[in-house]
Chain A
Amino acid sequence: MQQSIYLDLARSGHRAPIGTHLVLHTRKNADTLIFDGPLLGGVVVETADRFQTPLAIPLMDLTLEKAALLGALGVDPSGVDAFHFEQPPADPGSLKVTPRMQATCDAIHHVASKTSLVPIGMGIGPFSLMTKLVKDPITPVFLAGSGMSPEEEPEVGVIERCLEIGTELILSYLALQADAGAKAIIVCEPAANLVYFSPNQLDESFEIFDRYVMEPMRRIKSLLDQKGVDLIFHDCGELTNEMVSRFSTLDTAMMSLGCSRCLWDDAALVSKSTVLYGNLPTKRFYSPQLTVQEVESLSVELLDKMRATGHPFILGSECDVLSVPGSEEQILSKVNAFMNAGICNLQAC
């Protein structure tokens, strides 16, 4: 376990974006490169070098697990994106590693064997995967939260089966990444938010959130503990305080939250052994309406307020910094702005 690394980085005022997508898309062969582990690992290393971080953060592509699951169930690859279960799916059997998954593992191995960076893995969380497997996941989650059983509402049975087989697949994939050399794994649960869970319903009981989100996450945490791998939890969705408090019980090495959260308030909800990460509004970095000066100002405010809380903190992006065609320079200028904001230029001083 590397917990002290993240705490030390936080103490040193470290900052870093989740920027591999940005760097990947500077390559003309980005579409083929993602299938080649060593080359993909090279991009991860280049990203870490460019942003001067020891954290080898991989591509945040949350489509791999759905593709693997559906592939195992015989769905044609060309139809995977739009496919949704209408009946409880069959047992997909043990994980059939897709070329993209293999490349991700090989990239981790590349980082682990060729560099001194912290090799980090990536995966979607079980609840978020489930939401990709059915056309409307929100209604059955609400129905289940209202006490409806699969017998009363078949839609509930479909999502519970998807959650069950999805969790097993994710556990297998995360184990592979750990075996490839990952020292930490980012598990992304962006759908565990108040779009999918009504705060009104949660005011009455958190049972459905605990059952659908927290229990699978606890299984992941247990697996990673057994493997000696740190859990980095990511959720850029809109959250309630109670959701953040629950995530904190996972005792994660880092917690990465979206820009809808005030991290300086969340510091009171999260254990001091968990480094808070984020949460600049990188989804809006493409827009000229968000200026470099505003990004600098937001960064300085965040740094100041987090310093005041005394909570370990790493300044970064609220999510993957996506490369938007035609807006690459705009985005990079803002990444550079937060990487340098508030740092005294020796010549200027």
Chain B
Amino acid sequence: MSTLENLSLAVEKGKRVDAKQLTQTLLDEGMKPLDIVEKGLVPGMSAIGEKFKNNEVFVPEMLIAARAMKEAMSLLDPLLAKAGITPKHTVVIGTVQGDLHDIGKNLVAMMLKGANFGIVDLGTNVPHEKFAAAVKEHNASVLALSALLTTTMPAMRGTVEVVRAAGLNDVKIMIGGAPITQDFATEIGADGYSSDAASAVDVALRLLGEVK
């Protein structure tokens, strides 16, 4: 196996020490940071995402993989920033107002980051206006909203309305969370719905016309 393949495997298996060491090795060999991300880290996260979709692995394994990727990115992020390289698309993500749950939201953010999206994570209990301001500030391509409680789902509708009322008509809005359905997404005017974190990447790419 090549070093890149070993790096992908280290991410997939959640071996953070190995992931960092292999990343350093690739940098030492002169590989460009963006190539390491796209050819080493992203395939590793993609592989674990596929296994998650197929119920071969579960949330803990996904988090461990993300942890390994984060370790590798700690070496790459400063170099990417120095070179002025930014992801093609930025996603603003958060849990809607009144809802403090963040596991699902974090998983989606992690998977999107693993697919090389730029992530602006606003956290939990986010007011409608804060979402709109962040979309504008970061010129986001996608706005991802999460809710775990049936009681906080109405806040999604409010956020969609505020974002659209602010004239932010180009941003694609996708929603998800335990009680959410495609019907609800359609009803409130969201562009997309994802039933799980791994599928969120596919949904985002589809909404942006970059079908995987």
How close is B124's CB to chain A, nearest CB, in angstroms? 7
Chain B hits for A194, CB < 8 A = 58-59
Q: Does B125 belong to the interface (CB within 8 Å)?
A: yes
A69 to chain B, nearest CB (A): 16
What are 28 inter-chain pairs, A to B, with CB distance below 8 A? Answer: A82-B124, A135-B102, A136-B63, A136-B106, A138-B63, A138-B103, A141-B60, A142-B64, A143-B64, A194-B58, A194-B59, A195-B58, A195-B59, A195-B103, A198-B58, A198-B60, A200-B61, A284-B150, A284-B179, A284-B181, A285-B150, A286-B153, A287-B179, A287-B181, A289-B183, A323-B151, A326-B154, A327-B150
Is B125's CB under 8 angstroms from A82's CB?
yes
Q: Do A283 and B60 contact each other (CB < 8 Å), given the known contacts A195-B103, A323-B151?
A: no
B124 — which chain A residues lie within 8 A by C-beta?
82
Which residue of chain B has its CB nearest to the CB of A145? B60
**With A324-B154, A325-B151 in contact, is A81–B59 under 8 Å at CB?**
no
A118 close to chain B: CB less than 8 A? no
Question: Cβ of B59 and Cβ of A198 under 8 Å apart?
Answer: yes
Binding site for B on A (CB under 8 A): 81-82, 135-136, 138-139, 141-143, 194-201, 283-287, 289, 322-327
User: Are the C-beta atoms of B63 and A142 separated by less than 8 Å?
Assistant: yes
Chain A residues positioned under 8 Å from B59 (CB to CB): 138, 194-196, 198
A132 nearest in chain B by CB position: B100
A196–B60 Cα distance when bound, in Å, is 7
| A200 with B57: CB separation less than 8 A | yes
Interface size band for B = 20 to 34
Grouping DSSP codes into helix (H, G, I), strand (E, B) and loop, the A interface class, with mixed when no group exceeds half, is loop
Name the residue among B57, B63, B178 with the largest chain A CB count within 10 angstroms. Answer: B63
**Is the pair B153, A324 in contact by a Cβ cutoff of 8 Å?**
yes
- CB contacts (< 8 Å) of B179 on chain A: these are 283-284, 286-287
Would you give the shortest CB distance from A186 to chain B, in whole angstroms?
Answer: 19
* Contact indicator B64/A139 (Cβ below 8 Å): yes
Q: In the complex, what distance in Å separates the CA atom of A200 from the CA atom of B61?
A: 9
Contact pick for B150, options A81, A143, A198, A283, CB 8 Å? A283
The chain A residue sitting closest to B67, CB to CB, is: A139
Cα separation A136 to B57 with both chains bound (whole Å): 18
Q: Which residues of B contact A195 (CB under 8 A)?
A: 58-59, 103
Bound-state Cα–Cα, A142 to B64, Å:
8
Which of chain A's residues have a CB closer than 8 A to the CB of B151? Answer: 322-325
